[in-house]
Each structure stands twice: as C-alpha cells, then as structure tokens.
Amino acid sequence: MIRALALLVALATPCAAGTLEGRLVTFSVETWDVRETPILIAKGRTVMVGQGVEFDLGPQGFTGGLDIVPVTVEIGPSRIELTYPKGIGWFYTAKFNGYVLRFETECALFENVAIDPAATTMTVTEVWAETGALYINVSGLKYGPEARLALDLEVADCPLS
C-alpha cells in the first residue's frame, strides 16, 4: 500500500523543468543564403534574463545594404515574445534572415519550441534550436506595430554556466 501511494505521489508531481531565468543570452541578427558566407551578422548584445524587456534594438547602421529592424524582445522563464514598435516594412528575403539567441550552456537547452498562435500575428514557419541557440527566421515577413511573435519553450533542466 505504501509503495502504491509513493508511486501515485511520484506520478502526480511534475518533473522539474528548466528555466531561462538567470541565464546569460546573446541576441544577434543574421542574414545569409549560405550559412558559411553570411551577408550580415550584427553585433550581438548579451544580458542576463530577468524581469522585463531584455532587448530593445534599433538600427545599427547599414552593413552590406542591410540594417536592423527595431525589435523588442522579452524573455520569460519558458517564453520569448518579439514585437516591432517602430516602423513598418518587410524583412529582406534570404534563406535565413532573423534572430539568433545564444544561451550560455553546453547542453541541449530546448526540448521543444512552439509558436503560440493565439499571441502571434506573424506567419513565422521556421524556428529551430541547436544546443543552446535558438534560430528564428523572419525572412520576407511583414513587420510593424501590429506584428508579434510568441514562442513557448520547453526548457531542459541544464545547469547555469
């Protein structure tokens, strides 16, 4: 009886999930048709994930005819939200034109990444993870004050670096 009760308690207790809170993350913009020969790699910015907006980027000056679209990025424990408060237009079209968020870790940080359709107005179809990096492709999409992207993440219980 005690074993059965212990098993029920173990099954009812949620597994410890990881979090992005307190992690160092570098956010950068990349544009490429061939990954090994990028058209643009913007200077990344590094912060520790905490309360409020982590990144509020504006133009950095043209490089190869391209510049940064103003974007606000808020990172929660298991969610990332991007908004475009300034300007209206279309992202440059390339095989990849988007954002790379590199979290300082050596383990596979993301177990699952899903676009939240209820909180997203953009037609983003390409988001993927590689170890501690998250890639978000916005190539050819429209941006402006109405554009929003929300990602729900299943974060592994990786140690903080």
For the stretch 68-93, pLDDT in tens is 899 999 999 999 999 999 989 999 99
User: According to the model, what pLDDT value does residue 63 have?
Assistant: 64
Rounded to a whole number, what is the distance in angstroms from the first to the last CA of the chain?
43
SS3 5: helix
CA gap 32, 22 in Å, rounded: 31
Whether pLDDT at 147 is above 50: yes
Decide: pTM greater than 0.75.
yes
Mean pLDDT throughout 34-43? 90
Exposure letters 123-152 (e unless 16+ CB within 10 A, then b): ebeebebeebbbbbbbbebebeeebebbbe
pLDDT value of residue 79? 97
- Are 137 and 103 spatial neighbours (Cβ–Cβ below 8 Å)? no
Percentage above 70 pLDDT, the chain: 86
